[in-house]
C-alpha cells in the first residue's frame, strides 16, 4: 500500500480529518502540511508538502523497535501496537522523516498507520476521502492496473530523502525539493511543541506570559 | 444610474479608491491596510471553540514586503503600532516576499478576547483583556494574558502550545459606507511606527467621537432618495423582505 | 525529566536559511517541534555504562595477563562497584522510558534486529557473569571464576560500544551515522575506567600497584581521544545535517560545553597534569557526559 | 495472513508463566466490504443504519463499534457542504463527521472546518442552558433560566410592540445566513420589516456591480467547463462556496484551463494560479477596462451576443444622439469611450506589467463563451467604488458573450431553488428606515454596520433586538460604537443573542440562547455552486436517530446536549405565544398544513416543502420513502444537472402566460 501526493493541489484539509478519525491530541500530528516560499516579488512561489509516515519498505523504526510494537503488515502498511510499546522513543530518533511522535495521552509511540482500521473494513484512509481536490491518492502499488501504479509510472515522482535507503512508499508529483526535505531535523526554528506528557509542565513554565499588573 | 442622480457612473468605469496612492505619503510610513484576507481554516468568530482549527491557525501578523521593511527599519517579528483614523492597534510584523510592496495586510478571524468578568469560553483562541473607558468615548483595551495552557475537562487544554492571541484590528476601523453600494469599504489608510514602550501585542485604543465624525463625513457623500416618481429604491432591485408596493414610495 | 528547548538553545543562529529571505527557500509554516526526546538520562547512562565497563576491564586484564599482581580484595571492590554502576545504568534506562512498568518487554518480547534488545541482553549477561564471578570467588572456586573472566572482558568491551550500533540504527540522526562512534565510545570507556581507578587509588591503597600502568594507559587514551575529536570535527561529514550538528557542537550552542568542558577540562588539563606527575584524573570523566 | 508480528519463543514462554500480561487477543473480525486493493470512499447507504467499524484508538484490540450514519449539512461557512455524522450506537453521541457523497455540490469532500464541528460539539465550555443577565448589561453575571421563561418574556415584549404599532422596533439581525425562507415568513407573519443582515460588510459592493447589468446580484461561474478563469478572490481557500468551487477549478485546471488571480498578496490560491496579478488595492477596475479595450480593439468580442442582448441602441440614443444607430457605430463609440484605458495606464495605476495585462486579455478573448470569472469580496468590498470593479468584471463576460453559457458565468438564481412555503403571509406594511435609510437607495442590502450610528443620531430605537449567530462587536468595524449602543437600554430595549458559542456581542446581551451546531438544527440549503440545481437538508442527527429507534421527540432540545435548541422550533413557539388568542392574526401562519387548528411542527414544515420540490417525490417513490424521509436518509437531492443557456430557450405558451402574472 502506498500514497501518491499531488503537491499542486494541497490545502489544509488533511489535518482535521486525520485528527477526527484517530483522536490525535493537540500538539502532535500524524500528518501535517509544511509551507515554503521561494523567490522575490512578483515571482514569489509558495509550495506545500503533506508530510507523514512513508511506510518504508526497509523501515528503520521497525528495526530499532525493541518490542516490535512497530511492524510491517503483509499489505505494506507499517502499523503499531501501543500495548507493546515501552515508549523508549528510539523510533522517533530512527525515523528520517520525523513522522513518529509520543502520544501525550497514551504515553506510547504513534504515527500514521494508513488508517489500517479503515482499510481492513474496505474504506480508504480518512485524509484521502476528505480532500476536495483529491490531492492524495492511496492504493496498492503491486497491482499494475490500479490508479496509483499508473500515476507513479506515468509521472515524474520524487520521494523524501531517498539517500537514507529506507525505500519510502509516499510519492510526490510536481514537488519542490526545498519543501520536501525536512532540512535539518535538528535545526528546526519551529515554535516549541508538545510531546510526551513530561513536556507539559516544561512548556507551561517556559512560556509563562508575563502577567501584567492591572493598572 | 442616471435616474438615481449618478449620471457620471452610467457606464462601467474606474473610481479611484479612498486609499489611492495620491492620498498616501509612504515616506511618513503611511500604507493602505488590507484587513480582509481570510484563512482557510477559520470561521469569522465561531472557530474559537474548535481546538483543531485554532491549532492550525493562531497568528495574524501584519504582512509587509521586505523592501518596505528595509526602508522603515523593521525586522521580522517586530512590534508595530498601526495608527488608523480613529485609534491604533499593536501587531507583530511578518516580513515576506509574498506581499505587494507598498501595501500591508492583516488577516481576519484572530484577535478574539474575553474580559475577566466574562464567562470562560473559547479558551483556544481568546486573549484575556481589560477594557477601560478612559474618558467618555475614549476606549483602551489592554491584553492581560495571551492564550495559556490550562487544566480542564478536555486534556488537550493542557497541551496548548501557541501563545499568540493575535490582535482585534476590526474594532479600530472607522465605518466607510460607499455612497452607492452601501458597502463598508474595508481598506484603511494607516500610519506605521515602532510600538511605544509599554505597548503589548494586541493592545489597542479607539475614540468613538472621532469614528462618529468619520461616519458623518462619509454620509455627506450620499445622494438620498427619492428617485424617479418618489421611489425609495428601484423596484427591480432585490430587497430582502419586500414590503407592500406603496411603501416603496416616499410620502 | 525533559528539558524543553531552552532560550539559550537559540536555533535562529544556526539556521542561516532564515536570515537571507531572498535567495533560499524559507519555511513559513510547519507543525510544532517535538522538543528533545532523548534527554540527560540517555547521556547519563552512556556515562555510567562506560565506567561500569572500564573499571572492571583493567584490573581483570592485568590479573589475567600477569602484567601486575592484583589482590583479590581489589578485584572484589572493582567488581562490586562495576555492578553498582551497572545498576545505575539500569535505573536511568528505565527512567527514560515513558512506560517504565513495561521495561521487561525489552527482554521478554525481543525484536532481535534492534540493538536495544541486544544491548539489554549484553547488560544482563555482563551483570550476571560478574555476580557469578563474585559468588564463585566468595565461595572459593577460583578455577571456574578464572574461566569466566575472559567472557566478562569481552562483554565489557561490547557493553562499552553497543550504544554506538544503536545510535547507528537511528537513521534519522545523521551525526550518529559516523563509523567513528564506536571508537569514541571505546575511548570513553578506557578513559573513564582508568580515570576512575586512578581517582579511587587515592583512597584505596591496594590499588597502588596498578597506578603506573593506569597512568600510562590514561595518557595514551587521552591523546588518542584528542586525535579522535580532531578526526571528527576537522573533517567534513557526509550529509548537510551532520555538518550542521558538528557545527553546533564546535561553534553553536554547545560551544562552551564542548571546548570548555570536554576538550579543556576533560582532556587537555588532565593530560598536562599527568605528564606533570600529579594525580588529579577524575575530571576527564566529564568528557563522555558531553559527548 | 496474520497482520501482527509473529510471537517469539521467549515471549510465549514469558506470557505463559505470567511474567508479562497477555496482549494478543482480539475483540472480533469484520468482513471487509470489498476485496483487498479496491477500497471505496464511503460505506454504502444500505449499511448506514448499522455500520460497523473498528475503534481507531484501541486498534491493537480490534474493538468493534456500531454506528448509525445520518447526513446533515455543515454550518461552519456559507457553502453548506454535505456532512455524514457517525452516531455511536452505544454512547449515543456523535463520534465524527465526514463528507456526504450524496451532496451534489461538495460530493463527499469537505474542507478543514467541516470535521472540526466535532470539536465545537464537545467543547467543554459550551453554553448548555438559556442564560439571562443579572445586574447591568455587559457586567458578565448570568443566571440559568428555562426556555418557557425566555419565550414568555420575549413574546410579551413583542406583542406589546406590535399592539402599539411599533413594528419597526423589532429587528432580527443575522450573521451566518440560514433559515432565509423561514425567517422572511416569520417576520412577515409578524408584519415587521425586521430583517437586517451583514451583506454590506460582506458582498454589497459586488452585488451592486453585478445587479446593475441584469438584476441578478450574484454570478455563478461554471468552473467545471471553463477554459479561462479570472478570480478577484482567493476562491481555492476561502470565499462563498469555495469548497465546491475549488473542486471544479482544480478539475478544469488539470485539463488545461489557465487561471489568473488578482490579489495584493500571494494567497494560497494565487500561488496555484498561472498569473498572479498583484494589483494596488482599488485599481483592479483600471486593469479590467484595459483588458476590455484590448478585447474590443483586437475584435475578440462576441458580436452575436452583444448585438442580441445589449441595449446598445438605447445607449447610442442617450449618449450620442447625433450618430446614426448602427451596431458598428456602437462598437466605434465604445472603443472611444474606453480609449484612455491603455495597458500602460493600467500598469501605471496598478503596477501590473502591460505584458501581463495584454496576455491575460487575449486569453480571455480566446476563451470566448467559456470564460468564467468570480469576485465576491476582496477588491469590491475593500475599496470606495468597489462596485465598479464587479461591474467591469462582468463587462468582460458580456464582451465575450460568456453569460449564462457553458463554462461561463451564470446568473445565480438559475441554480438556486427557492422553496414553496405553507400559507405564505402577505408582505409587511412597514419600511424600516434603520435598515433601508433614504440616503442609500441603491444599497445592497441593509446598512447594517451603521446601526449604532443611526441610533446615536436618534433615527429610531430598537425594542427587541435578536442577534442570531452574529457578532458585530468583533466582526464589524468600530466595535466600540456597538458596545456603546448595546450598553444603552434606552436605545436597545431587549437584546437576545441566539448563538452556539459565547462571543463578544453575547457578553452585552440580556438573553443568551444556545442554538445548535451543524448536527443540532433544521434548515434547508440551496446555493449556486455549479451548473446544476440542488437542495440539501440540515437536521438534528440525534433527533433523527431517536426517531429511527422509535422514540417520540417533541422538541429538539430533548435530544441535543443540555438544553441546546434550534431556531425553527424557537420561532414557531415564540410566534405562537406572541398571539395566544389569534387576535393579531399571526397564529394562523403557524397552523399545521396537515392538522387544521394545531400548531405546526418542524417536521410538517419540511414535509410540506419537500413534497413540492420538483422531482423529489418521484425519486423518493423509487426508494419507497416519503420525500421527507428521503431527505433524512440522503441529506440532499439534485433537481437538475445542467442549467445552462436559459436565456436562449424559447418559452412555451404556458411560461409566457405565467410571466405576465
Identify whether residues D359 and D244 lie together within a single domain.
Answer: yes
- Does pLDDT of D270 surpass 70? yes
In a mutagenesis test of the B interface, which of A206, A209, A214 is the best target, namely the one with the most B β-carbons within 10 Å?
A: A209
**pLDDT tens profile C148-207:** 888 999 999 999 999 999 999 998 888 888 888 899 999 989 988 888 888 888 888 888
- Does pLDDT of A10 surpass 80? no
Identify whether residues B88 and B130 lie together within a single domain.
Answer: yes
Q: Which of A138, A117, A140 is nearest to A127 (CA)?
A: A138
Residues of C in contact with A97 (CB under 8 A): 172
Identify whether residues B234 and B124 lie together within a single domain.
Answer: no
CA distance B201 to chain C (A): 20
Has residue D594 been placed in a domain? yes
Tally the domains of chain D.
3
Identify whether residues D223 and D328 lie together within a single domain.
Answer: yes
Identify whether residues D144 and D104 lie together within a single domain.
Answer: no
Identify whether residues D159 and D225 lie together within a single domain.
Answer: no
Has residue C245 been placed in a domain? yes
**pLDDT tens profile D153-194:** 999 999 999 999 999 999 999 988 878 789 999 999 999 999
User: CB A41 to CB B159 under 8 A?
Assistant: no
| CA dist., res. D588 & res. D582, Å (int) | 7
Has residue C225 been placed in a domain? yes
| CA dist., res. D343 & res. D295, Å (int) | 12
Mean pLDDT calculated for residue range D121-145? 93
Residue numbers of the domain that contains B240: 225-251
Residues of C in contact with B96 (CB under 8 A): 21, 28
Has residue D547 been placed in a domain? yes
Identify whether residues D264 and D289 lie together within a single domain.
Answer: yes
Burial class from Cβ neighbours inside 10 Å (0-12, 13-18, 19+) for residue D10 reads middle
B51 Cβ partners below 8 Å, 6+ apart? A26, B124, B154, B156, D119
DSSP type of residue B184: B
CB D86 within 8 A of CB D66: no
How many helices (H) and strands (E) chain B has is answered by 3, 10
Band of the pLDDT at C23, cuts 50, 70, 90? low
User: CB B49 to CB D479 under 8 A?
Assistant: no
**pLDDT tens profile C87-125:** 999 999 999 998 999 998 999 999 999 999 999 999 999
Identify whether residues B204 and B242 lie together within a single domain.
Answer: no
- Does pLDDT of A14 surpass 60? yes
CB pairs < 8 Å spanning A and D: 139
Identify whether residues B169 and B211 lie together within a single domain.
Answer: yes
Identify whether residues B103 and B149 lie together within a single domain.
Answer: yes
User: CB C31 to CB A190 under 8 A?
Assistant: yes
User: CB B211 to CB D480 under 8 A?
Assistant: yes
Q: Is C21's Cβ below 8 Å from some Cβ in D?
A: no
Residues of D in contact with A113 (CB under 8 A): 59
Identify whether residues B129 and B246 lie together within a single domain.
Answer: no
| CA dist., res. D515 & res. D65, Å (int) | 29
Has residue B2 been placed in a domain? no
Tally the domains of chain B.
2
Confidence (pLDDT) at D21: 85
CATH number at residue D461: 3.40.50.740
User: CB B96 to CB C28 under 8 A?
Assistant: yes
Rg (CA), chain B: 22
Residues of A in contact with C243 (CB under 8 A): none
Identify whether residues D167 and D111 lie together within a single domain.
Answer: no
Residue numbers of the domain that contains C239: 11-16+36-290
The residues that bridge with D258 in the sheet, in sequence order, are: D228
CB A15 within 8 A of CB B56: yes
Confidence (pLDDT) at D4: 63
Tally the domains of chain C.
1
User: CB D446 to CB B240 under 8 A?
Assistant: yes
% of chain A at pLDDT higher than 70: 81
Residue numbers of the domain that contains D315: 209-415
Identify whether residues D105 and D135 lie together within a single domain.
Answer: no
**pLDDT tens profile C44-65:** 899 899 999 988 988 888 888 8
CB count in 10 Å sphere of residue B251: 6
Has residue D145 been placed in a domain? yes
Confidence (pLDDT) at A9: 66
Identify whether residues B229 and B107 lie together within a single domain.
Answer: no
Closest chain C residue to the Cα of A97, Cα to Cα: C172
Identify whether residues B148 and B238 lie together within a single domain.
Answer: no
Closest chain B residue to the Cα of C23, Cα to Cα: B97
**pLDDT tens profile D497-546:** 999 999 999 999 999 999 999 999 999 999 888 888 999 999 999 999 99
CA distance D373 to chain A (A): 20
Identify whether residues D372 and D395 lie together within a single domain.
Answer: yes
| CA dist., res. C240 & res. A177, Å (int) | 14
- Does pLDDT of D235 surpass 60? yes
Identify whether residues D622 and D510 lie together within a single domain.
Answer: no
Q: Which of C122, C130, C135, C121 is nearest to C152 (CA)?
A: C130
| CA dist., res. C50 & res. C47, Å (int) | 5
Report pTM. 0.89
Confidence (pLDDT) at D239: 81
Q: With a CB-CB cutoff of 8 Å, which residues 105-134 of chain B face chain D?
A: 105, 111-115, 117-123
| CA dist., res. C221 & res. C284, Å (int) | 11
Structural domains in chain A, sorted by start? 2-184 (3.30.70.20)
- Does pLDDT of A6 surpass 80? no
| CA dist., res. D115 & res. D122, Å (int) | 12
Q: Is C107's Cβ below 8 Å from some Cβ in D?
A: yes
Q: Which of C98, C102, A88, C91 is nearest to D19 (CA)?
A: C102
Has residue C28 been placed in a domain? no
The residues that bridge with A79 in the sheet, in sequence order, are: A71
Confidence (pLDDT) at C73: 83
Q: With a CB-CB cutoff of 8 Å, which residues 17-36 of chain B face chain D?
A: 17-21, 32, 34, 36
CB A12 within 8 A of CB B41: yes
The helix (H) or strand (E) run that includes residue A71 is strand A70-72
Has residue B77 been placed in a domain? yes
CATH number at residue D303: 3.40.228.10
Mean pLDDT calculated for residue range D307-326? 87
Each residue's pLDDT, cut to its tens digit, for chain B (251 residues) gives 888 888 888 888 899 999 998 889 988 999 999 998 888 888 888 888 999 999 888 889 999 999 999 999 999 999 999 999 999 999 999 999 899 999 999 998 899 999 999 999 899 999 999 999 999 999 999 999 989 888 888 989 988 888 888 999 999 999 999 999 999 999 999 999 999 999 999 999 999 999 999 999 999 999 888 888 888 888 888 888 889 988 888 87
Has residue C253 been placed in a domain? yes
**What is the 3-state secondary structure of chain C?**
CCCCCCCCCCHHHHCHHHCCCCCCCEEEECCCCCCCCCCHHHHHHHHHHHHHHHHHHHHHHHHHHCCCCCCHHHHHHHHHHHHHHHHHHHHHHHHHCCCHHHCCHHHHCCCCCCHHHHHHHHHHHHHHHHHHHHHHHHCCCHHHHHHCHHHHHHHHHHHHHHHHHHHHHCCCCHHHHCCHHHHHHHHHHHHHHHHHHHHHHCCCHHHHHHHHHHHHHHHHHHHHHHHHHHHHHHCCCCCHHHHHHHHHHHCCCCHHHHHHHHHHHHHHHHHHHHHCCCCCCHHHHHHHHHC
CB D524 within 8 A of CB D534: no
Residue with cell 488608523: B84
ipTM of the complex: 0.88
Residue D183 sits at the vertex; the CA angle it makes with D180 and D189, to the nearest 5 degrees, is: 140
Identify whether residues B229 and B166 lie together within a single domain.
Answer: no
Neighbours, chain A (3 or more CB pairs < 8 A): B, C, D
Q: Is B86's Cβ below 8 Å from some Cβ in D?
A: yes
Residue D51 sits at the vertex; the CA angle it makes with D50 and D56, to the nearest 5 degrees, is: 140
User: CB A120 to CB D3 under 8 A?
Assistant: yes
CA distance B133 to chain A (A): 13
CA distances from C97 to A67, A90, A199, C169, D231 (A): 13, 10, 14, 18, 54
User: CB A200 to CB B158 under 8 A?
Assistant: yes
Confidence (pLDDT) at C13: 38
Q: In whole numbers, what is the pLDDT of chain D averaged over residues?
A: 90
Has residue D249 been placed in a domain? yes
CATH number at residue C210: 1.20.1630.10
| CA dist., res. A11 & res. A24, Å (int) | 19
Q: Which long-range contacts link D393-396 to residues 24+ away (Cβ below 8 Å)?
A: D393/D209, D393/D230, D393/D232, D393/D288, D394/D209, D394/D210, D394/D213, D394/D219, D395/B12, D395/D288, D395/D289, D395/D292, D396/D230, D396/D288, D396/D291, D396/D292, D396/D295, D396/D364, D396/D371
Mean pLDDT calculated for residue range A142-148? 85
**pLDDT tens profile C133-151:** 888 888 888 788 788 888 9
Identify whether residues B238 and B151 lie together within a single domain.
Answer: no
Identify whether residues D267 and D218 lie together within a single domain.
Answer: yes
| CA dist., res. D3 & res. C30, Å (int) | 33
Which residue of C21, C28, C32 is in closest CB contact with B161? C32
CATH number at residue B64: 2.40.40.20
Confidence (pLDDT) at C70: 78
| CA dist., res. B162 & res. C32, Å (int) | 9
Mean pLDDT calculated for residue range D443-461? 92
Q: Convert B76-89 to b/e letters by CB count within 10 Å (16 or more is b).
A: bebbbbbbbbbbbb
Backbone angles phi, psi at D22, to 5 degrees: -75, 135
Residues of A in contact with B162 (CB under 8 A): 191
- Does pLDDT of A201 surpass 60? no
Q: With a CB-CB cutoff of 8 Å, which residues 13-42 of chain A face chain D?
A: 13, 15-17, 19-23, 37, 41-42
Q: Is D321's Cβ below 8 Å from some Cβ in A?
A: no
User: CB A27 to CB C32 under 8 A?
Assistant: yes
Mean pLDDT calculated for residue range A98-122? 91
Q: Is D5's Cβ below 8 Å from some Cβ in C?
A: yes
CB B203 within 8 A of CB D411: no
CA distance D301 to chain B (A): 16
Has residue B1 been placed in a domain? no
C-alpha cell at D481: 460604537
Residues of D in contact with C26 (CB under 8 A): none
Has residue C21 been placed in a domain? no
CB count in 10 Å sphere of residue D180: 18
| CA dist., res. D287 & res. D352, Å (int) | 8
**Terminal CA-CA length for chain A:** 61
Lowest mean pLDDT, pick from A150-154, A196-200, D204-208, D614-618: A196-200
DSSP per residue, D301-317: S-HHHHHHHS-HHHHHH
Residue with cell 481589560: B130
Q: Is C12's Cβ below 8 Å from some Cβ in A?
A: yes
**pLDDT tens profile B35-47:** 988 888 888 888 8
Identify whether residues B61 and B182 lie together within a single domain.
Answer: yes
| CA dist., res. D187 & res. A47, Å (int) | 49
| CA dist., res. C249 & res. C14, Å (int) | 11
Query: Omega before A42 cis (within 30°)?
Result: yes
Amino acid at each position: 500500500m502506498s500514497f501518491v501526493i499531488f503537491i499542486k493541489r494541497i490545502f489544509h484539509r488533511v489535518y482535521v480529518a486525520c485528527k477526527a478519525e484517530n483522536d490525535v491530541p493537540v500538539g502532535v500530528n500524524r500528518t501535517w502540511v509544511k509551507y515554503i516560499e521561494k523567490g522575490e516579488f512578483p515571482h514569489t512561489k509558495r509550495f506545500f508538502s503533506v508530510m507523514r509516515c512513508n511506510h518504508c519498505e526497509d523501515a528503520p523504526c521497525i528495526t530499532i523497535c525493541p518490542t516490535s510494537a512497530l511492524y510491517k503488515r503483509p499489505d505494506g502498511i507499517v502499523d503499531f501496537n501501543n500495548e507493546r510499546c515501552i515508549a523508549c522513543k528510539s523510533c522517533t530518533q530512527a525515523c528520517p522523516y520525523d513522522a513518529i511522535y509520543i502520544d501525550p495521552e497514551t504515553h506510547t509511540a504513534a504515527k500514521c498507520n494508513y488508517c489500517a482500521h479503515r482499510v481492513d473494513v474496505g474504506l480508504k484512509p480518512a485524509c484521502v476521502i476528505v480532500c476536495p481536490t483529491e490531492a492524495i491518492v492511496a492504493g496498492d502499488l503491486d497491482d499494475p492496473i490500479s490508479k496509483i501504479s499508473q500515476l507513479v509510472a506515468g509521472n515524474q515522482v520524487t520521494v523524501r530523502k531517498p539517500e537514507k535507503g529506507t525505500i519510502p512508499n509516499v510519492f510526490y508529483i510536481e514537488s519542490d525539493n526545498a519543501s520536501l526535505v525536512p532540512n535539518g531535523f535538528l535545526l528546526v526554528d519551529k515554535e516549541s511543541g508538545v510531546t510526551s506528557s513530561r513536556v507539559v509542565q516544561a512548556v507551561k513554565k517556559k512560556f509563562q506570559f508575563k502577567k501584567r499588573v492591572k493598572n | 444610474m442616471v435616474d438615481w442622480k449618478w449620471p457620471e457612473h452610467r457606464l462601467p468605469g474606474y473610481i479611484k479608491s479612498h486609499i489611492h496612492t495620491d492620498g498616501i505619503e509612504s515616506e511618513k510610513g503611511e500604507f493602505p491596510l488590507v484587513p480582509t484576507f481570510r484563512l482557510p481554516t477559520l470561521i469569522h468568530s465561531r472557530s474559537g471553540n474548535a481546538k483543531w482549527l485554532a491549532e492550525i491557525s493562531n497568528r495574524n501578523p501584519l504582512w509587509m514586503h521586505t523592501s518596505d521593511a528595509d526602508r522603515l527599519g523593521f525586522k521580522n517579528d517586530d512590534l508595530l503600532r498601526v495608527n488608523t483614523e480613529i485609534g491604533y492597534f499593536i501587531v507583530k510584523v511578518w516580513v515576506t516576499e509574498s506581499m505587494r510592496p507598498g501595501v500591508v495586510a492583516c488577516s481576519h478571524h484572530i484577535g478574539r478576547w474575553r474580559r475577566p468578568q466574562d464567562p470562560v469560553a473559547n479558551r483556544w483562541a481568546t486573549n484575556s483583556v481589560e477594557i477601560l473607558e478612559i474618558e467618555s468615548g475614549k476606549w483602551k483595551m489592554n491584553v492581560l494574558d495571551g492564550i495559556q495552557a490550562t487544566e480542564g475537562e478536555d486534556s488537550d487544554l493542557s497541551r496548548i502550545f501557541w501563545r499568540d492571541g493575535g490582535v482585534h484590528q476590526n474594532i479600530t476601523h472607522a465605518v466607510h459606507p460607499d455612497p452607492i453600494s452601501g458597502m463598508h469599504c474595508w481598506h484603511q489608510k494607516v500610519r506605521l511606527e515602532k510600538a511605544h514602550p509599554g505597548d503589548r501585542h494586541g493592545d489597542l485604543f479607539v475614540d468613538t467621537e472621532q469614528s462618529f465624525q468619520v461616519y458623518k463625513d462619509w454620509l455627506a457623500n450620499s445622494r438620498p432618495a427619492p428617485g424617479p416618481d418618489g421611489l425609495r429604491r428601484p423596484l427591480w432591485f432585490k430587497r430582502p423582505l419586500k414590503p407592500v408596493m406603496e411603501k416603496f414610495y416616499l410620502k | 525529566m525533559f528539558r524543553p528547548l531552552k532560550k539559550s538553545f537559540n536555533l535562529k543562529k544556526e539556521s542561516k536559511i532564515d536570515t537571507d529571505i531572498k535567495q533560499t527557500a524559507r519555511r513559513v509554516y510547519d507543525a510544532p517541534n517535538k522538543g528533545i526526546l532523548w534527554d540527560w538520562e540517555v547521556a547519563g547512562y552512556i556515562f555510567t555504562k562506560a565506567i561500569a565497563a572500564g573499571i572492571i576491564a583493567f584490573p581483570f586484564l592485568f590479573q589475567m595477563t600477569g602484567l601486575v599482581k592484583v589482590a583479590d580484595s581489589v578485584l572484589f571492590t572493582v567488581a562490586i562497584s562495576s555492578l553498582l554502576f551497572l545498576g545505575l545504568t539500569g535505573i536511568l534506562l528505565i527512567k527514560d522510558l515513558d512506560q517504565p512498568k513495561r521495561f521487561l518487554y525489552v527482554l521478554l518480547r525481543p525484536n532481535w534486529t534492534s540493538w536495544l534488545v541486544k544491548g539489554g541482553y549484553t547488560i544482563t549477561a555482563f551483570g550476571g557473569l560478574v555476580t557469578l564471578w563474585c559468588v564463585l570467588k566468595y565461595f572459593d572456586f577460583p578455577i571456574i571464576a578464572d574461566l569466566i573472566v575472559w567472557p566478562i572482558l569481552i562483554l565489557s568491551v561490547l557493553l562499552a560500544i553497543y550504544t554506538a550500533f544503536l545510535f547507528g540504527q537511528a537513521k534519522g540522526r545523521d551525526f550518529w551515522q559516523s563509523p567513528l562512534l564506536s571508537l569514541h565510545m571505546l575511548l570513553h570507556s578506557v578513559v573513564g575506567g582508568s580515570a576512575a581507578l586512578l581517582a579511587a587509588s587515592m583512597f584505596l591503597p591496594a590499588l597502588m600497584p596498578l597506578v603506573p600502568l593506569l597512568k600510562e594507559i590514561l595518557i595514551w587514551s587521552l591523546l588518542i581521544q584528542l586525535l579522535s575529536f580532531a578526526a571528527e570535527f576537522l573533517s567534513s561529514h557526509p550529509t548537510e545535517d551532520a555538518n550542521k550538528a558538528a557545527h553546533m557542537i564546535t561553534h553553536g550552542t554547545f560551544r562552551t560545553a564542548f571546548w570548555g568542558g570536554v576538550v579543556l577540562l576533560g582532556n587537555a588539563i588532565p593530560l598536562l597534569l599527568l605528564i606533570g606527575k600529579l594525580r588529579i584524573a577524575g575530571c576527564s570523566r566529564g568528557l563522555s557526559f558531553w559527548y | 495472513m496474520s497482520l501482527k508480528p509473529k510471537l517469539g519463543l521467549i515471549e510465549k514462554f514469558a506470557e505463559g508463566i505470567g511474567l508479562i500480561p497477555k496482549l494478543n487477543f482480539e475483540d472480533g473480525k469484520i468482513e471487509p466490504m470489498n476485496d483487498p486493493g479496491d477500497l471505496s470512499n464511503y460505506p454504502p447507504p444500505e449499511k448506514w443504519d448499522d455500520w460497523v467499524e473498528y475503534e481507531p484508538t484501541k486498534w491493537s484490540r480490534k474493538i468493534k463499534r456500531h454506528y448509525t450514519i445520518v447526513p446533515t449539512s455543515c454550518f461552519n461557512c456559507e457553502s453548506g457542504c454535505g456532512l455524514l455524522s457517525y452516531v455511536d450506537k452505544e454512547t449515543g453521541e456523535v463520534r465524527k463527521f465526514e463528507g456526504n457523497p450524496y451532496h451534489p455540490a461538495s460530493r463527499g469532500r469537505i474542507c478543514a472546518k467541516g470535521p472540526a464541528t466535532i470539536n465545537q460539539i464537545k467543547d467543554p465550555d459550551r453554553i448548555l442552558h438559556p442564560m439571562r443577565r443579572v445586574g447591568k448589561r455587559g457586567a458578565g453575571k448570568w443566571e440559568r433560566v428555562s426556555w418557557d421563561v425566555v419565550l414568555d418574556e420575549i413574546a410579551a415584549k413583542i406583542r406589546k410592540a406590535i399592539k402599539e404599532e411599533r413594528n419597526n422596533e423589532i429587528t432580527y439581525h443575522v450573521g451566518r445566513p440560514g433559515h432565509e425562507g423561514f425567517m422572511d415568513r416569520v417576520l412577515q407573519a409578524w408584519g415587521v420589516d425586521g430583517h437586517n443582515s451583514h451583506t454590506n460588510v460582506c458582498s454589497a459592493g459586488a452585488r451592486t456591480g453585478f445587479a446593475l447589468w441584469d438584476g441578478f446580484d450574484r454570478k455563478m461561474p461554471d468552473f467545471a467547463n471553463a477554459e479561462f478563469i479570472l478570480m478577484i478572490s482567493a476562491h481555492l481557500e476561502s470565499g462563498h462556496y469555495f469548497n465546491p468551487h475549488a473542486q471544479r477549478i482544480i478539475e478544469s485546471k488539470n485539463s488545461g484551463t489557465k487561471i489568473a488571480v488578482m490579489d495584493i498578496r500571494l494567497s494560497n490560491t494565487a500561488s496555484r494560479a498561472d498569473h498572479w496579478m498583484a494589483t494596488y488595492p482599488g485599481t483592479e477596475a483600471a486593469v479590467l477596462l484595459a483588458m476590455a479595450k484590448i478585447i474590443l480593439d483586437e475584435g475578440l468580442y462576441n458580436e452575436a451576443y452583444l448585438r442580441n442582448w445589449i441595449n446598445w441602441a438605447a445607449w447610442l440614443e442617450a449618449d450620442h444622439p447625433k450618430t446614426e444607430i448602427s451596431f458598428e457605430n456602437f462598437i466605434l463609440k465604445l472603443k472611444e469611450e474606453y480609449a484612455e484605458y491603455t495597458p500602460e495606464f493600467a500598469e501605471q495605476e496598478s503596477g501590473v506589467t502591460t505584458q501581463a495585462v495584454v496576455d491575460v486579455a487575449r486569453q480571455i478573448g480566446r476563451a470566448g463563451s467559456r470564460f468564467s470569472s468570480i469576485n465576491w469580496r476582496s477588491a469590491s468590498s475593500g475599496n470606495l467604488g468597489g462596485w465598479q470593479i464587479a461591474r467591469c468584471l462582468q463587462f468582460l463576460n458580456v464582451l465575450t458573450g460568456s453569460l449564462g453559457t457553458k463554462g461561463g458565468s451564470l446568473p445565480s438564481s438559475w441554480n438556486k431553488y427557492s422553496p414553496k412555503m405553507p400559507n405564505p403571509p402577505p408582505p409587511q406594511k412597514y419600511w424600516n428606515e434603520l435598515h433601508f435609510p433614504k440616503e442609500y437607495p441603491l444599497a445592497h442590502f441593509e446598512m447594517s454596520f451603521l446601526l449604532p450610528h443611526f441610533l446615536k443620531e436618534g433615527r429610531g430605537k430598537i425594542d427587541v433586538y435578536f442577534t442570531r449567530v452574529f457578532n458585530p462587536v468583533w466582526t464589524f468595524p468600530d466595535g466600540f460604537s456597538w458596545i456603546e449602543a448595546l450598553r444603552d437600554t434606552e436605545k436597545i430595549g431587549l437584546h437576545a443573542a441566539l448563538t452556539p458559542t459565547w462571543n463578544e456581542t453575547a457578553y452585552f446581551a440580556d438573553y443568551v440562547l444556545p442554538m445548535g451546531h451543524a448536527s443540532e438544527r433544521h434548515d434547508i440549503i440551496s446555493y449556486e455552486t455549479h451548473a446544476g440545481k440542488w437542495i440539501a437538508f440540515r437536521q438534528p442527527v440525534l433527533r433523527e436517530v431517536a426517531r429511527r429507534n422509535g422514540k417520540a421527540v417533541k422538541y429538539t432540545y430533548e435530544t441535543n446536549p443540555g438544553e441546546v435548541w434550534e431556531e425553527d422550533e424557537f420561532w414557531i413557539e415564540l410566534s405562537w405565544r406572541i398571539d395566544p388568542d389569534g387576535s393579531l392574526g399571526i397564529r394562523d401562519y403557524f397552523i399545521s398544513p396537515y392538522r387544521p387548528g394545531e400548531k405546526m411542527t418542524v417536521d410538517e414544515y419540511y414535509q410540506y416543502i419537500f413534497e413540492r420540490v420538483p422531482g423529489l417525490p418521484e425519486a423518493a417513490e423509487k426508494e419507497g420513502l416519503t420525500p421527507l424521509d428521503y431527505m433524512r436518509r440522503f441529506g440532499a437531492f439534485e433537481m437538475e444537472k445542467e442549467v445552462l443557456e436559459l436565456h436562449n430557450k424559447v418559452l412555451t405558451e404556458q411560461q409566457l402566460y405565467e410571466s405576465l402574472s
